[in-house]
Amino acid sequence: MQFGNSKAPIDIKSKSMSLDYTNHSVLWIGNVHATQADSTLTSDQLRVNYFDKDFKQMKDMVADGNVRLSQGTRWATGDHGVMDQTRRTVVLTGSPVAHDGNDQITGCKITVYLNTSQSVVDCAHAVLFPHSDASPGASATPGAATD
């Protein structure tokens, strides 16, 4: 997933939004839908925390409730997600599941490292579907006899 790993603008929509000038944060509540380039984040609520009072330097994004990150044929879901701009990570917890096409990985915590496109899954369980390069009806071994 590349959400947050781009200089493209992040477009966020929700039922309501509140600004907290004291804590340098913005809270979106209700049917949150955020997009950046070809990536999408949806959740029940999303809090974006900033380092500065001018709301220019993003610290992190914290999504809660029905969290879903998607990009093309890849998507991940969980109850809670944190995208940390400093560490360049996305961490999903609360029954997280990651999909790549038909392949599925579940765990108790999924960490995606945005700079390296690598992931670590704690308590992992994977269901992977082998991909075949052979055309339908072709034998696995050239010259093999068929019944």
We report the CATH number of the domain holding residue 76 as 2.60.450.10
Q: Which domain holds residue 58?
A: 11-127
Where do the H-state alpha helices sit in 9-134? none
Q: Is residue 6 part of a domain?
A: no
- Phi-psi label, residue 95: left if phi above 0, alpha if psi -120 to 50, beta otherwise: left
Q: For residues 49 and 56, what is the distance between their CA atoms, to the nearest angstrom?
A: 10
Q: Is residue 1 part of a domain?
A: no
Q: For residues 36 and 6, what is the distance between their CA atoms, to the nearest angstrom?
A: 8
**pTM over the 0.85 mark:** no
Q: For residues 27 and 49, what is the distance between their CA atoms, to the nearest angstrom?
A: 9
Q: What percent of the chain has pLDDT over 90?
A: 67
* Contacts of residue 76, Cβ cutoff 8 Å, sequence gap at least 6: 1, 68, 69, 70, 92, 96, 97, 98, 99, 110, 112
Number of domains in the chain: 1
Q: Is residue 137 part of a domain?
A: no
Q: Is residue 67 part of a domain?
A: yes
The count of other CB atoms within 10 Å of the CB of residue 92 is 28
**Model pLDDT for residues 36-55, shown as the tens digit of each residue:** 988 999 999 999 999 999 99
**Model pLDDT for residues 118-142, shown as the tens digit of each residue:** 899 999 999 999 976 654 554 444 4
Q: Is residue 36 part of a domain?
A: yes
Q: Quick check: 107 and 119 in contact, CB under 8 A?
A: no
Q: pLDDT band at 144, cuts 50/70/90? A: very low
Q: Quick check: 120 and 127 in contact, CB under 8 A?
A: no
Residue written as token pair 């308590």? 123
Q: Is residue 134 part of a domain?
A: no
Which helix H or strand E contains 78, and what residues bound it?
strand 74-84
Q: For residues 33 and 27, what is the distance between their CA atoms, to the nearest angstrom?
A: 13
